[in-house]
């Protein structure tokens, strides 16, 4: 019986494909390198439980599906954000919108940004923080450089870093309101570096 084994280190992933059997046995040679950025791995939807032989060339295989492989977060990032607060969420700010209105506005603005709207313009018109809202952060275990105005990830509200660090440069994310992780409202976050 023929077997196909794909191995990545960090994280360790073993995938089988249609017509093949996946195995949990240890590889005979170490993996050569870990993926360095987010990669997409394709696997077939066909069940390998009933098909024990490799398909011949005349057989049509099912279309592959994509599986994201989580990659390590960077040590430093620079993000820009637009805070959408609600009445009482930002101390000293006279915000009149309700929590529901804030959520709707944040979701609408994120969709506009993904469609090509100018982030600086969105921030100027909508943020409940100080524009331009650009912050540098050092990840957990990395010393921040105060002279360069780099904040430790743990000094920021948790949702801010939890949203910003997984993003690729140029991507947007939304940190949802949470009384502990994002107490000021919704943060639309863009990674700029």
pLDDT at 102 over 70: yes
CB 9 within 8 A of CB 34: yes
pLDDT at 52 over 80: no
Q: Determine the Cα–Cα distance for residues 137 and 160; give it in Å rounded to an integer.
A: 10
For residue 113, the model assigns a pLDDT of 97
Span 89-118, mean pLDDT? 97
Tell me the domains of the chain and their CATH numbers: 1-72 (no CATH), 76-191 (3.10.50.40)
pLDDT at 56 over 80: no
User: Confidence class of residue 70 from pLDDT cuts 50, 70 and 90?
Assistant: confident
For residue 147, the model assigns a pLDDT of 86
For residue 63, the model assigns a pLDDT of 58
Q: Which residues of 75-97 are buried (b: 16+ CB within 10 A; e: fewer)?
A: ebbebbbbbbbbeebbeeeebeb
Span 90-116, mean pLDDT? 97
pLDDT digits (tens, 9 = 90+) for 146-192: 888 999 999 999 998 999 999 999 999 999 999 999 999 999 999 99
């Amino acid at each position: 019986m023929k077997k196909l084994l794909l191995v990545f280190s960090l994280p360790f992933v073993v995938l089988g494909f249609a017509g093949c059997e996946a195995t949990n046995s240890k590889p005979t040679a170490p993996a050569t390198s870990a993926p360095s950025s987010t990669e997409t791995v394709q696997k077939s939807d066909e069940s390998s439980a009933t098909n024990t032989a490799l398909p011949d060339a005349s057989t049509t295989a099912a279309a592959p599906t994509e599986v994201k492989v989580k990659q390590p977060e960077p040590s430093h990032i620079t993000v820009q954000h637009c805070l959408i607060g609600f009445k009482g969420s930002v101390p000293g700010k006279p915000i009149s919108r309700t929590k529901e209105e804030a959520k709707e506005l944040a979701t609408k603005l994120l969709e506009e940004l993904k469609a090509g709207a100018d982030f600086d313009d969105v921030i100027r018109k909508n943020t409940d923080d100080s524009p331009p809202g650009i912050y540098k952060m050092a990840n957990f275990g990395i010393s921040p450089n105060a002279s360069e105005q780099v904040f430790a990830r743990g000094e920021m509200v948790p949702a801010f870093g939890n949203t910003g660090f997984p993003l690729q440069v140029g991507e947007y994310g939304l940190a949802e309101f949470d009384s502990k992780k994002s107490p000021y409202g919704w943060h639309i976050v863009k990674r700029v570096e």
